[in-house]
């Protein structure tokens, strides 16, 4: 019983980390209807940046978190400006083309990271002790990372729902033409959304690398993780995304404990495909439209 409770707590804490990973993708998808296939690679890049900041400058992972986020913000802005905005502006067949573009981007980011950091697994040691809560021991690192992720997600959520700039992101997601007729520069909103989403990926990476070692090829898996969450939780539905993140965290922790890490990796994909099959209309809700 104690094991189950411990696992449940671990799962819920992992949920916080997943939530941050997915919220960035959710934001980008919501505003631009583009799935950034390099999202996972951005997460890995953020983690590896944190690794270097730790290894070269001795920076605490929590201090590396904003720096990694900032660097990814810049990269995201560059990608949106140079790659995705021209495709969006061209209009027709935008979905296919932006998929191909981010598919290519994912390889560029992963292999550029490979050139810099090599192919070995990297990790950042952080708060390796455990917090004792009665008979239950919780890894301090996971607790800190999870709380940081929850805090960051909450801050961004507050920013999105209370400030006029945040609301203009929502507005653009719901009707770009409506936003433009309000005098909102939708191009700038898209730039902001993509940069912010990328920053969240970078920040999440800086936290996750303290928990699991990263390799440059981990990105694809993380993209699927994040996408599973937004498919499961529902677009723009923050409560749904949170619920999905917790479910995924629990599933993974339990699968790892009872089935082993290899099978746990497969379970995630099975959940993913099951989600797609049960909700084939997905976030788009295109079924039956004539």
Partner 1 sequence: MRDRVIEAILLGALVVLALVIARSGSAYVAQTLFNAALAILLAIGWNVIGGFTGYVSFGQVSFFGLGAYIAALATMRLALPWPAAIGVAALGAVILALPLGLIMLRLSGIFFALGMFGLARILQISVSAMRATGGPMGMSFDAAEDPHICAAVMLLVAAAALAGTWLMLRSRFGLRLLAIRDDAVAASAAGVHVWSVKVLAFCLSAALAAVGGALYAWNLGYLDPSSAFNGTIELQSVLMVTAGGIGTVWGPLVGGAIVSGLSTFLWARFPMEQQIVLGGLTMLIAVAMPGGVMAALARGGVLRRAPIWAPPPAATAAPAAKATAAPAPTRPRPDRPAPVLRCAGLGIRFGGVVAVDAVDLVAYPGELLAIIGPNGAGKSTLFNLISGFARPATGEIVFDGKRLPRLRPERLARAGIARTFQTSRLFPSLTVWETVLLAALSLHRNRRRARTEAARILAEVGLLAHWREVPEALPPGRQRLLEIARALALQPKVLLLDEAMAGMSAEEIARVHAALRHAMEGGSAVVAIEHVLPAIAPLAARVQVLDFGATIAAGHPHAVLNDPAVITAYLGVEMEGATDAAA
Partner 2 sequence: MPPPDLLRLEGVSAGYGRVPALHAVDLALGHGETLAIIGANGAGKTTLLRAIMGQIPLLGGQIRFAGRRLDGLDTHARARLGIGYAPEGRQLFPMLSVADTLELGAAREPAAVRRERRDEMFAIFPKLRPLRDASCGLLSGGEQQMVAIARALMGRPALLVLDEPSTGLAPRVIAELYASLAHLLDSGLAVLVAEQNARAALRFARNAVVCEDGHLTLRGPAKTLAADPRVAAAYIGMHDASIWSAAPAGGAPDAPI
Interface positions with partner 2 (CB under 8 A): 164, 167-168, 170-171, 174-175, 177-187, 236
- State which of positions 205-224 bind partner 1 (CB under 8 A): 220-221, 223-224
Tokens representing 194 are 């993509």
Residue 74 binding result from partner 2, partner 1, none, given CB thresholds of 5 to 8 Å by partner type = none
- Give CA angle at 272 (173, 83), nearest 5°: 45
Q: Kindly give the residue spans of alpha helices, DSSP state H, lying in 33-124.
A: 39-57, 61-79, 85-90, 94-117
- Helix (H) or strand (E) run with residue 188 in it: helix 186-208
Nearest distance from C-beta of residue 169 to partner 1, angstroms = 21
97 phi and psi angles, rounded to 5 deg = -65, -40
239: contact with partner 1 by CB under 8 A: no
Residue 274 binding result from partner 2, partner 1, none, given CB thresholds of 5 to 8 Å by partner type = none
Residue 171 binding result from partner 1, partner 2, none, given CB thresholds of 5 to 8 Å by partner type = partner 2
- Would you say 184 and 168 are in contact if contact means Cβ atoms under 8 Å apart? yes
Residue 3 binding result from partner 2, partner 1, none, given CB thresholds of 5 to 8 Å by partner type = none
Burial 188-209 (b: 16+ CB within 10 A, else e): ebbbbbbbbbbbbbbbbbbbbb
263: contact with partner 1 by CB under 8 A: yes
The binding site for partner 1 (CB under 8 A) comprises 35, 37, 83, 86-87, 90, 93, 95-101, 103-108, 110-112, 114-115, 220-221, 223-224, 227, 231, 262-263, 265-266, 269-270, 272-273, 276-277, 280, 282, 284, 286, 288, 290
């Amino acid at each position: 019983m104690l094991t189950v409770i411990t696992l449940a707590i671990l799962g819920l804490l992992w949920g916080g980390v997943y939530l941050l990973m997915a919220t960035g993708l959710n934001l980008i998808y919501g505003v631009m209807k583009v799935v950034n296939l390099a999202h996972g690679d951005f997460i890995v890049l953020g983690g590896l940046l944190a690794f270097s900041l730790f290894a070269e400058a001795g920076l605490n992972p929590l201090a590396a978190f904003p720096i990694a986020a900032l660097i990814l913000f810049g990269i995201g802005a560059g990608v949106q400006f140079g790659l995705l905005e021209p495709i969006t502006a061209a209009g027709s067949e935008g979905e296919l083309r932006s998929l191909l573009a981010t598919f290519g981007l994912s390889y560029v980011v992963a292999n550029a990271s490979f050139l810099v950091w090599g192919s070995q697994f990297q990790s950042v040691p952080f708060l390796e002790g455990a917090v004792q809560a009665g008979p239950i021991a919780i890894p301090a690192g996971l607790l800190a990372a999870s709380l940081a992720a929850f805090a960051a997600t909450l801050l961004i959520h507050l920013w999105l729902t209370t400030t006029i700039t945040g609301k203009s992101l929502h507005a653009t997601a719901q009707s770009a033409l409506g936003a433009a007729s309000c005098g909102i520069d939708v191009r700038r909103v898209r730039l902001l959304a993509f940069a912010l989403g990328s920053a969240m990926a970078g920040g999440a990476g800086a936290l996750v690398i303290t928990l699991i070692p990263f390799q440059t090829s981990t990105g694809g898996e993380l993209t699927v993780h994040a996408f599973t969450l937004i498919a499961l939780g529902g677009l723009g539905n923050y409560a749904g995304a949170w619920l999905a993140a917790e479910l995924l965290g629990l599933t993974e922790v339990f699968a790892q404990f009872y089935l082993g890490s290899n099978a746990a990796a497969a379970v995630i994909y099975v959940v993913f495909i099951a989600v797609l099959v049960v909700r084939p209309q997905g976030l788009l809700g295109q079924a039956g439209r004539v």
